[in-house]
Amino acid sequence: MSELQKIVVGIRSSNLSQSQTNLLIQEVLSSDPNLKRDLFDIKTIKTTGDIHNTHRLDRIGGKGLFIKEIEEKIILGEIDIGVHSMKDVPAQEALPDLDIICWMKRYKANDALLSNSGKSFMDLPAGSVIGTSSIRRRSQVLSLRKDLCIKLLRGNVDTRIQKLKNQEYDAIILSLAGLARLNLEHLVTEILDFKLFLPAACQGAVGVQASKASKVREIFSSINDTQTEIECLTERRVLKNINANCNSPVSIFAKIMNDQIQIWFELHDHYGQKIFQKKVSAKTNNYFELSDTLSNEVIEIVGQRKINELDELKDDFNYTPD
């Protein structure tokens, strides 16, 4: 690919996006000593989700709000690739000409609690104010602690942490992977166990998006992590099949172990009631069939109408105990 003069990379204007992109570029350069750092030209792009950083995501669309403008610039040829946190990428692909051409190795998918008091989630005093913008995390909090207050928390990772330090919240929940990539793991009070907080689809995974016809695919193929790709495609397929997205209180995690792929799946309602829970497994090469079987069972037991209704939280996001 020596004829390639420049790869223009589109990312969100956040420290996390910059950090993830730097890690990606380091991996690519390490994989091929003939490539140079100046091959990559990074352009920051304001997305709808970044611009409207005080609104409830589900009220301004929720689907693809952190990637839409980046995708548009790939289509227009203004940038070559976009680097995304894959949990921000809707499972219902809206643009058939685009593809995820590379999956970086997934970091731990756990949620993490940061608390001013240093107390763990179950030890927080009743009435403590928890910050999140995730409908999934909101439902999970309510399933475990209806005696806590929930308050909407928007902004990038740095902004959210500053709001915690300003005592606007007693504790906040963030992705462990994001904190790790920003070298902020030392701020974590508790890594939340999957038994309490099963993660969102693709949490901890970073993907490279490009046009299907892009010439840059070859450069990134050597660093593609196949295990991450299969696990995340499995999670995304279930979401796509049941027509769920980032607004839905859906948790799913797939893991390959000893040529077996296991899927953990949970669905809550908006009041914290767990309405479906299942763990399934199969041979790794049957991951698509396993995804479809699980999806069909969810739809059969819960009903597509109910799943669709969970896409919209009609109540106030903020919650105060009675």
User: Angle 309-311-312 (CA atoms, 0-180°, nearest 5)?
Assistant: 80
- Residues tagged active-site: 88
Q: Which residues contact 183 (CB under 8 A, 6 or more apart)?
A: none
Query: pLDDT value at position 57?
Result: 57
Burial label for 206, CB within 10 Å (0-12, 13-18, 19+), is buried
The length of the chain is 322
Task: Outline where 243-286 has alpha helix (H).
Answer: none
Domain 111-191 in the same topology as domain 7-105+206-224: yes
Strands 81-85, 206-211: pairing kind:
antiparallel
Which token pair is 157?
Answer: 């990772």
Among 61, 21, 16, 68, residue whose Cα is nearest residue 45? 68
| Class level of CATH domain 235-309 | alpha beta
Q: How far apart are CA 191 and CA 111, in angstroms?
A: 6
With contact defined as beta carbons under 8 Å apart, do 176 and 107 qualify? yes
Handedness of CA 295, 227, 202, 31 (dihedral sign): negative
**Homologous superfamily (CATH) for 7-105+206-224:** Periplasmic binding protein-like II (3.40.190.10)
Among 104, 126, 83, residue whose Cα is nearest residue 31? 104
With contact defined as beta carbons under 8 Å apart, do 215 and 107 qualify? no
Which sequence spans correspond to the domains of the chain? 7-105+206-224, 111-191, 235-309
With contact defined as beta carbons under 8 Å apart, do 58 and 249 qualify? no
The SS3 call for residue 191 is strand
The SS3 call for residue 198 is coil
Fold classification of 111-191 is D-Maltodextrin-Binding Protein; domain 2 (3.40.190)
SS3 helix, strand, coil % of the chain, rounded to 5?
35, 25, 40
Residue with tokens 């004829």: 3
Query: pLDDT value at position 1?
Result: 40
Q: What is the dihedral angle through the alpha carbons of 266, 272, 275, 276, rounded to the nearest 10 degrees?
A: 10
Average pLDDT per 10 consecutive residues for the chain, totaling 322 residues = 76 91 96 92 76 53 69 92 90 83 96 98 98 96 98 91 97 97 97 97 96 92 96 97 89 96 97 97 97 98 96 91 91
Query: pLDDT value at position 88?
Result: 84
Query: pLDDT value at position 2?
Result: 43
